[in-house]
Structure 1
Amino acid sequence: MPAARESLLDAAYAALARRPWSAVRMVDVAAVAGVSRQTLYNEFGSKEGLARALVRREADAYLAGVDRALATHTDARERLAAAAEWTASAARDNALVRAMLTGCWGERLPAPTLSAVPSSSAVPAQRRADGPLPSPADFVALVRDRAVTLLSVPGPGGPGGPGAHKPDTAELSRTCELVFRLALSCLSAPPGEGGVADLVRTALQRQPVRF
């Protein structure tokens, strides 16, 4: 992503932390980023375009964090526990991530339509932002499928070691979805530090999947 675009998104995110999105002004975002207002409009087209790009960036960052969490450990259960803990912490620290995962946007946040909007932008990143944005159900499927892809491969990088049993894909998919939905349930009533991972470990002890 070009430096100017990233700086503008950083400025918009910082402005959103201080005031409601309705009070965020494009001219102020451009000034904080150190670029002209015309550059801002060239990149995003409108304030709605800026909102969509900001939501898309935070969604991508959250999913990248899921990927990192799933690669943190060699034990499959610990990988899922780490992904669940990341989900809870990301939602706690980032209001946009929390809104995307729960569907509860609130009055302070932008609330772009999740369906694609007509785009005439010449900027590839903006054309992507103008496409469909993920709903809570989309996130469930995206995280579940990421986990299944990683954990269904036996040997190094997958569950067990060389020659390990390959889990049944349907059962594994249900288990991964269960873990993510358990993490989401903790967003409204968060447990103490490390509590999400502990809940996941306990739940996985009862699951039929052989990791």
Structure 2
Amino acid sequence: MGSAREALLDAAYEAIVAGDWTGARMADLAARAGVSRQTLYNEFGNRDQLVAALVLREAERFRALTGQAAREAPGDVGDATAAAVTAALTAALDNPLIKATLTDDTSGLLPYLTTRSAAIMDVFREDSIAIFTERWPEPAEHPEVRAEVGWISETAFRLVISHLIVATEPVETTSRHIAEVVRRLMRDLTTT
């Protein structure tokens, strides 16, 4: 069933990118994927669960990209953050699903980046915490402080999403600014 699931996610992706999401019926999506409508319902239950799964699949792709960028970046936690943010925002500029989410008001997908973004945030949280503590080991030495690193990770995530939705400066500038926020929060965390 794994291939049917991917085919259905691909069909949803294609419908969204083509601007057909709003009018697409479950039967249309199933036909586009080459499976029965019942298979679609068995895999996802409903349209909301299908799009939620698609969003999580895309988030995993971004997590792999940003995690690799952060781990390959030389330097401190800020440098790793800047590399990850640059990778995320640059990839988002060319990502058809992100473009459709931000430009098609009728698709109903924008909440997955805003009010319904908790699941996406969860995808990035553990990776971010690991990278932050690799690059700034002091929290690992203070267990009561280490818990706050998750909050710093969430703050960085929210800043990236905000800049993705309303870009006010070049990607490199945004990356440097978010990196500096992370550095300051980590520094403040370890000096209190």
Normalised by the shorter chain, which TM-score bucket? 0.5 to 0.7
Task: Tell which deviates more after alignment, 139-148 or 184-193.
Answer: 139-148
Residue in structure 1 matched with residue 128 of structure 2 by the alignment: 147
Residue in structure 2 matched with residue 125 of structure 1 by the alignment: none
Residue in structure 2 matched with residue 84 of structure 1 by the alignment: 85
Q: Kindly provide the CA deviation profile for residues 95-120 of structure 1, in whole angstroms up to 9, marking residues without a partner as x.
A: 46996xx9xx942235899xxxxxxx
TM-score, normalization by structure 2: 0.66
Measured after TM superposition, the shift of residue 28 of structure 1 is 2.5
Unaligned stretches of 5+ residues in structure 1: 114-133, 153-157, 160-164
SS where residue 21 of structure 1 aligns? Answer: coil
Contact 2:11 2:33 in 1 (8 A): yes
Residue in structure 2 matched with residue 52 of structure 1 by the alignment: 52
Q: Is 1:168 the equivalent of 2:169?
A: no
Closer/same/farther in 2, CA of residues 206 and 98 from structure 1, 3 Å limit: farther
Residue in structure 2 matched with residue 5 of structure 1 by the alignment: 5
Closer/same/farther in 2, CA of residues 68 and 109 from structure 1, 3 Å limit: farther
Contact 2:90 2:171 in 1 (8 A): no
Closer/same/farther in 2, CA of residues 6 and 190 from structure 1, 3 Å limit: farther
Closer/same/farther in 2, CA of residues 8 and 208 from structure 1, 3 Å limit: closer
Distance in 2 between residues matched to 1:74 and 1:193, nearest whole Å: 19
Closer/same/farther in 2, CA of residues 112 and 52 from structure 1, 3 Å limit: farther
Q: Kindly provide the CA deviation profile for residues 34-77 of structure 1, in whole angstroms up to 9, marking residues without a partner as x.
A: 22333323322333332332233233333333333332224233
Measured after TM superposition, the shift of residue 94 of structure 1 is 5.3
Cα RMSD (Å): 3.9
Contact 1:59 1:97 in 2 (8 A): no
Measured after TM superposition, the shift of residue 145 of structure 1 is 4.5
Residue in structure 1 matched with residue 175 of structure 2 by the alignment: 197
Distance in 1 between residues matched to 2:123 and 2:74, nearest whole Å: 21
Distance in 2 between residues matched to 1:139 and 1:23, nearest whole Å: 26
Distance in 2 between residues matched to 1:41 and 1:200, nearest whole Å: 41
Closer/same/farther in 2, CA of residues 183 and 94 from structure 1, 3 Å limit: same
In percent, how many aligned pairs have the same letter?
A: 31
SS where residue 65 of structure 2 aligns? Answer: helix
Contact 1:44 1:50 in 2 (8 A): yes
Measured after TM superposition, the shift of residue 15 of structure 1 is 0.7
Within a 5 Å distance, the mapping from 1:178-197 to structure 2 comes to 178-187=155-164, 188-197=166-175
Contact 1:5 1:43 in 2 (8 A): yes
Measured after TM superposition, the shift of residue 85 of structure 1 is 2.0
Q: Kindly provide the CA deviation profile for residues 108-161 of structure 1, in whole angstroms up to 9, marking residues without a partner as x.
A: 235899xxxxxxxxxxxxxxxxxxxx9445655664553232332xxxxx33xx
Contact 1:179 1:200 in 2 (8 A): yes
Closer/same/farther in 2, CA of residues 145 and 166 from structure 1, 3 Å limit: same
Q: Which has the higher helix share?
A: 2
